[in-house]
Amino acid sequence: DIVVTQSPDSLAVSLGERATINCKSSQSVLFDSNNKNYLAWYQQKPGQPPKLLIYWASTRQSGVPDRFSGSGSGTEFTLTISSLQAEDVAVYYCQQYYNAPITFGQGTRLEI
């Protein structure tokens, strides 16, 4: 199984400041055939299902504010929220989709 590890486990950021969450996979999730990283980011608020923010490591899902961005390739990835808003308080997960079993990081709790 590909092990996905996030850091930090929790993070407190002031409103309007930048938040950065890291994700590392135990093996590369870059498919050579299409040059795509099979890595996605999700936001989950209490009592709600996860919401897809970023796929292919850096492609923003339709409707997601542009303050959310993803970067990285291979085994190391980053989710950045450029200017934190109150509604961004949530738990964030990264997910590898390179091969089965699909696996998630342990989550990062983002607070203000």
Partner 1 sequence: QVQLQESGPGLVKPSHTLSLTCTVSGGSISSDRYYWSWYRQLPGKGLEWIGYIYYRGSTNFNPSLRSRVSISEDTSRNQFSLNLRSVTTADTAVYYCARDHEGATDFWGQGTLVTVSS
CB 6 within 8 A of CB 26: no
Give the residue with the Cβ less far from partner 1, 78 or 103. 103
Give the residue with the Cβ less far from partner 1, 72 or 105. 105
Backbone angles phi, psi at 87, to 5 degrees: -75, -5
Burial class of residue 35 in the structure, from the number of CB atoms within 10 Å of its CB (0-12 exposed, 13-18 middle, 19+ buried):
exposed
CB of 100 to partner 1, least distance (A): 5
User: In the range 70-99, which residues lie near partner 1 by CB under 8 A?
Assistant: 93, 95, 97
What is the torsional sign of CA 90, 28, 73, 98? negative
User: In the range 39-58, which residues lie near partner 1 by CB under 8 A?
Assistant: 39-40, 42, 48-52, 55-56
Applying CB under 8 A, the residues found at the interface with partner 1 are: 1, 36, 38-40, 42, 48-52, 55-56, 61, 93, 95, 97, 100-107
